[in-house]
Chain A
């Protein structure tokens, strides 16, 4: 997570001076301090931020749970086995193919899937995949968008024209349609750019696709801000001191973009997780048998009549994680830039 405000602030500002509009020290507070303080006061946002951390922690602990509690792993199937619940022996998967529902005991806590795999174990491992994809795609989006947006906004002219047109083309595709097309194509052929080779099965493919698709949503506001910032006096001062373009971009302009970046980050992670699920549902994301929340929902939907828990369980985890990020992100936006119109579409 980008920000962990509470601990740092507790020592920084005594409560007495905090009152809005009063006292001389308030006027001297850095914008980040003010924003972090606002965020710290927003209990709901913090609670949901904590929820996300808890979910992520649980997923990280997947191997421990699998070994110590469930005594299985994410791929092992127990098709022909029986387990004893309250003294009654039951098939993990009945001869007619119906998987066992939640047992609420150590083994098969949330039931089994059609292949006799432990849902709870797969849920945690799947969460690792989904969160990993979200948490790697978002920084990549940020990086690309900042570079592209700064170049376009700073250099203007033909650089801006080319970059803006390219962004507009990505923007004109419906998100899911472009994602599925790229996902299917790249999964078959893999990706080869010079020395960089990515295998079609790799999880790097969905990460890359998701990262590229969301670039315009951040690059456009960044470009707009840079266009305004480059005319400011401090940029002129830096130039008068003899600073070059790169230096001005990194040490003068970039710090001024930080609040935009911080505001967008949790929202892009949330949308990246949702898009991964959508791509996996359409067979263009994570490859089975690797679990992710998206592939688990997709497998569950095929068997919803015999085992609705196969759809419900991964869906609830996904919604909780995304909701946590959205509420936290909302709080971050209110704290850093209450009037910002931040939107990331996914249709």
Chain B
């Protein structure tokens, strides 16, 4: 266990390191994107640009710039090239919005997907199963920003059922918080419900004929208990590992499409906007932030795995 965690931490650091280099390179190979010129504002003199270049260290070789930028990511005095705002402060300010989106959507998609997947498997081959399969495939096939835009227009703007954008912190009013987030949650969940319900369905079908399930039935357990306690528990394992990755990605700003279309002002939207302005520091910081969550959650899930199923050994 201890060895497992240490190994994971080492590989996590390696992956984060590689990711930061890739991100830095993507933005440093672009010609005509001198950050000094953007920092200098409109109509700068050559002297001003030179001064900024020296002050921000753009005259140094690329690897020195990389090391300096990474130092700043961790010490917290990283500034945007475009508007000189503190990047870490902005991320901390945006993170609760992204986390609110992630936690609500994750509960929604897990709950709905597990119910639908289980029902679908119990009714395998019947009409309900086929109907749900089609629904799941439709969910997988819809672009989230399209669904989001239509929800915004019809439910938010035209029929006024849900608030059209805006965010209320949980601490102000939990009810309003949920009310304002219900559309983004639904839009984001649709895709995951499609994927998860189908994975669960096939897992349930794999386990439902196992010996221990027959034993459970034979000893007279009610069908409900057989399904929930014996079948579902074993079918959930792969779902849990999927969930770790997806939840980590959403928390880390991976849901940038959903955030952008609902104008949630979360970390993902910040990333999307910064990329559009070729603003390297925020992108670098957010990518690190996101990858960190993905790696941490994968590790947590692996440990959870071993507790759910003692046959799995951590190496």
Contacts and interface: CB of A to CB of B under 8 A. Distances in A.
Contacts of B125: none
Nearest to A325: B141
Given A301-B149, A305-B157, 7 more contacts: A173-B22, A174-B254, A297-B143, A301-B145, A326-B140, A343-B195, A347-B255
Interface stretch (A29-37, A85-93, A120-128, A315-323): A315-323
Contacts, number: 135
Interface of A: 165, 168-169, 172-177, 180-182, 184-185, 188-189, 270, 274, 277-278, 281-284, 294, 297, 300-301, 304-305, 308, 311-312, 315, 318-319, 322-323, 326-327, 330, 341, 343, 345-347
A73 B239 CA distance: 49
Contacts of B271: 177
B254 A177 contact: yes
B137 A323 contact: yes
B146 A347 contact: no
Contacts of A173: 19, 22, 287, 291
Contacts of A177: 253-254, 256, 268, 271, 287, 290
14 contacts: A169-B15, A169-B18, A173-B291, A184-B278, A270-B141, A278-B257, A281-B257, A284-B275, A284-B276, A301-B149, A311-B153, A323-B138, A326-B137, A341-B202
B48 interface: no
A168 B278 CA distance: 25
A175 B245 CA distance: 12
Contact of B141 (A184, A297, A323): A323
A341 B27 CA distance: 36
Nearest to A188: B30
Interface in B211-256: 245-246, 249-250, 252-256
7 tightest Cβ-Cβ pairs between the two chains A and B:
A174-B254, A323-B141, A322-B141, A315-B146, A189-B30, A301-B149, A304-B153
Interface residues of B, number: 54
Contacts of B252: 174
A347 B246 contact: yes
Nearest to B14: A165
B141 to A, nearest CB: 4
Contacts of A165: 18
B6 interface: no
B262 to A, nearest CB: 12
A199 to B, nearest CB: 13
A327 B130 CA distance: 12
A177 B98 CA distance: 15
Contacts of A282: 256-257, 260, 272, 275-276
A168 B17 CA distance: 13
Given A282-B257, A347-B250, A312 B150 contact: yes
Interface string B187-205: 0000100010001001000
A277 B148 CA distance: 14
B199 A343 contact: yes
Contact of B276 (A283, A312, A323): A283
Contact of B275 (A180, A189, A305): A180
A172 B268 CA distance: 16
Given A173-B287, A188-B32, A347-B249, A181 B15 contact: no
Nearest to B286: A177
B118 interface: no
B183 interface: no
A172 B15 contact: yes
A172 B150 contact: no
Nearest to B25: A185
B257 A172 contact: no
A185 B157 CA distance: 35
Interface string B166-194: 00000000000000000000000001000
A327 B294 contact: no
Contacts of B121: none
B31 interface: yes
A169 B12 CA distance: 11
B1 interface: no
Given A174-B253, A308-B153, A330 B142 contact: no
A312 B291 CA distance: 34
Contact of A168 (B15, B142, B145, B250): B15
A311 B147 CA distance: 10
A174 B246 CA distance: 9
Contacts of B161: none
Given A169-B18, A305-B153, A347-B255, A181 B27 contact: yes
A66 B290 CA distance: 46
A182 B30 CA distance: 10
Interface in B270-307: 271-272, 275-276, 278, 283, 287, 290-291, 294-295
Nearest to B152: A304
Contacts of B199: 341, 343
A168 B291 CA distance: 12
